[in-house]
Structure formats: structure tokens, C-alpha cells
Amino acid sequence: MKIRKQCALVALEDVKAYITEECGQIAVFDATNTTRERRDLILNFAKENAYKVFFVESVCDDPEVIAANILEVKVSSPDYPEINREYVMDDFLKRIECYKVTYQPLDPDNYDQDLSFIKVINVGQRFLVNRVRDYIQSKIVYYLMNIHVQPRTIYLCRHGESDFNLVGKIGGDSGLSPHGKQFAQALKKFIAEQGIVDLKVWTSQLKRTIQTAESLGVPYEQWKILNEIDAGVCEEMTYEEIETQYPDEFALRDQEKYLYRYPGGESYQDLVQRLEAVIMELERQGSVLVISHQAVMRCLLAYFLDKSADELPYLKCPLHTIFKLTPVAYGCKVETITLNVEAVNTHRDKPSGSTNSLPKSQTPVRMRRNSFTPLASPDTIKRTRNYSVGSRPLNPLGSLLFPEVRDGADQQKLQLQMGSACL
């Protein structure tokens, strides 16, 4: 026990170093924390460093749920490399019996009534939430109450090749090219061959994704938040045109693609925040096919494949290719399926001169950056947003635009999140 306590103290020092030296904001202390003594140790550490604490307790007393969890989750655990399933079941059941001897559950009525925590009972059958004190804690509760462990498959693909893809223009609302229509038919055949029960199909509200879904001959849902990243004044322009007309903007985006925001448009950081509702709904659902766009698909892939903000804007999402994602314990299996329909390449590699000069061990503070070109600049070409059929506002105001007022760097709360994985 002395060694285990020392290991916990060392891990807590790692938490402190992450937050104070590496600009971390939320730390997950992943440990069993099954006794009040251990939880008091964590609380004292947090008090000394002015951190907030939120405990997550997983309680499972259903034998069938426990057995299924061991087979589906613990077999993939690093604790059991290449060991037969019978041994895993027997060994982990013995570990549970050992934990029962010292386990002291969180007590919302007396001892722990002032703590912030959530109890997840039998893998989401019931929840008990106690003293949620801020936005971050409420988002954690929201996330835990929406995820599930049932088997499912998520299919991600872009729309078929569009007319704008052919000429290298970004954004806009063009229709499918002949090859794009051919891909839509190939996608229909592929989905039929999968034999997926209760498959849901989601698209954006832009013409090219809707036309792709229409060819499937199945019901589908349109999500406005699945629309492609808004390129603002650069909508319907080629990269060559952007480099010529807005050289400073072009250079800025290459320097920090994730944080860069198009004048009058969005950044990848904005897009990630916009897609939160879609990601949460994907966690709630069974099998889903999402037909979207290059930037949107990059964000979704980055979430499920645990990619960093630096990697996200350069993930390769070619046209006419399906990414089959199967969430599993400790990760997500990914299979790439190419439907062998010709298409142009829309990927731009990361410029060699845009690498950060900081040492790899030093993580820079990320701040939201506005572009150089001000929205009120007389040189700014204001382009109206294109709408697909049925999605145009009821009272369009023609060329009169109301640029969205955006604030500066987001203020984020510092918070320490503690995982209390109890049995």
C-alpha cells in the first residue's frame, strides 16, 4: 500500500507539472481511488494548488454486465497482453473481490455530500449527480450521460466530386460532377452490401451532400452544422486566387491552420466547437453514415482517432473514399474503403516552412487568432452565402450582410478532473 500511495503522489505531481508548466487546463487522474483516505489525499492536493475536483465513480453490480464488460473491454487492456479469455475473466473477477474488501463508495447523503461527482451505475442504466458547480463539470455530466458501449459502426465520407472541386474552388454550393454522381451510385451499392440494420444517414444542407444522399434511396437527415467550414470572403475562390488577392491571409493560414480564421468566416477551432452537437449525437446513436465535407470530416476523424490540433487540418480525407470507424475499448478501429471512382485530389500538404520553432517538449499557449483583413475593410470582397434548396432564410436581405461579432481569445476555466473508477 505504501508503494501504491507513493505512485499516486508521483502521478499527482505529474498533474501539477502538466497544468503549470505545459499550459494544461484539465487533467484526468485515472486511478481506482476506492477509499476515502485516497480521495482526501486528492482533495488536499487540489486545495493546496487551487484546483477544482470532479469525481467520476462507476458502480456495477449486475453480473451479466460485469461479464460482458470484462470480455469486451478488459481483453483489450494492456494488463492482459495475448492471454486467453478464460484467464482474463477469472483474474479480473478475483481483482473485483479484492477491491470489495476496502471499497468505500461515494456517499452523497453524509460524508461526501459537499463533493462534486457523478455515479454511473451499471454502464449507464442509471446516474446520480451531486453538486455540479460549473460549466465544465456540466459538460462532463452531459458527455457521460450520452455515451454508450453498444456495438456500432460509423461511416464517414465526403460528398461526391463537385463541379467546384474540378476547378479548384473552395466553399460554395455547387452540384455533383459526372464522377460525383457515379460515386453516389457506388456508395448506394456499398451500403446495400453492408446489410446494416437501422442505419441513419446524415448530410449537410449543401447541395453536393444532398445529391449524394438522394441517390441512396433511403431517408436522411440534413444538419446545418455539418456544412463545410465557412471561408468568408474567400468562398468560391481557388487557392491561387486567394494567394494573389489576400497574400497576408494566405501566409497566415499556412502558419497556423487550426487557429486561423477566414475574414468573415471560420477557423478549424470554430468548426470543432460547431460540431460538438454532432459528435455527442454520434456517441448516442447506433450505426450512422455521415456524408459531409473535407474540413468537417477532418474534425470528426480527429475526435474518434484522437488526433491533435496540429494534425487535424492536414488529415487526408480523399473524395470517393469511406472511413469505417468501429469504436472499441481504448480506441477506435478504422478501415479505409476506396470505391474506385475517379476524382480530383483536393488535399494540400502542410507547407514545410510552417513548422513551429519551439522544442517538441514545449507546448505553446494556443490563442484564437483573427485574420489580418478587418471585416470593415473597403478592400474586402463580401460574398453572399449560398444556400441549398429549402434552406434559404425566409427574408433574405440581398447583398446586405451583418458580419458576426466575435470576441478575442476564449477565456477558459482551469479545472482538475479526477477519475474515480470504483467497482
Tens-place pLDDT, residues 1-28: 788 889 999 999 999 999 999 999 999 9
User: For residue range 281-336, what is the model confidence (pLDDT) as tens digits?
Assistant: 999 999 999 999 999 999 999 999 999 999 999 999 999 999 999 988 778 999 99
The pLDDT score that the predictor gives to residue 364 is 43
Q: Does 87 have pLDDT greater than 50?
A: yes
DSSP 27-47: EEEEE---SHHHHHHHHHHHH
Mean pLDDT on 197-225:
96
Mean pLDDT on 60-77:
77
For 129, the 3-state DSSP assignment is strand
The whole model's pTM is what? 0.78
The pLDDT score that the predictor gives to residue 315 is 98
Catalytic residue among 60, 163, 310, 332: 60
For residue 214, with 0-12 CB atoms within 10 Å meaning exposed, 13-18 middle and 19 or more buried, which class applies? middle
Q: Does 374 have pLDDT greater than 60?
A: no
Catalytic residue among 13, 14, 30, 404: 30
User: Helices 36-48 and 2-21 sit at what angle, rounded to 10 degrees?
Assistant: 30
Catalytic residue among 57, 157, 159, 320: 159
User: For residue range 162-187, what is the model confidence (pLDDT) as tens digits?
Assistant: 999 999 999 999 999 999 999 999 99
Q: Does 31 have pLDDT greater than 80?
A: yes
What does each C-alpha distance from 275 to 9, 225, 253, 272, 302 come to in angstroms? 37, 6, 21, 5, 12
- pLDDT class of 158 with cuts at 50, 70, 90: very high
Q: Does 373 have pLDDT greater than 50?
A: no
Q: Does 72 have pLDDT greater than 80?
A: no
- pLDDT class of 386 with cuts at 50, 70, 90: very low
Q: Is 159 a catalytic residue?
A: yes
Catalytic residue among 161, 173, 228, 266: 228
Q: Is 228 a catalytic residue?
A: yes
Q: Does 409 have pLDDT greater than 70?
A: no
Q: Is 320 a catalytic residue?
A: no
The pLDDT score that the predictor gives to residue 343 is 98
Mean pLDDT of the chain: 84
The pLDDT score that the predictor gives to residue 140 is 95
User: Helices 63-72 and 85-102 sit at what angle, rounded to 10 degrees?
Assistant: 130
Q: Which amino acid, residue 162? A: S
The pLDDT score that the predictor gives to residue 82 is 61
User: For residue range 93-150, what is the model confidence (pLDDT) as tens digits?
Assistant: 888 888 888 899 999 999 999 999 999 999 889 999 999 999 999 999 999 999 887 8
The pLDDT score that the predictor gives to residue 156 is 98
The Cα 188–Cα 405 span in angstroms is 42
Mean pLDDT on 232-249:
97
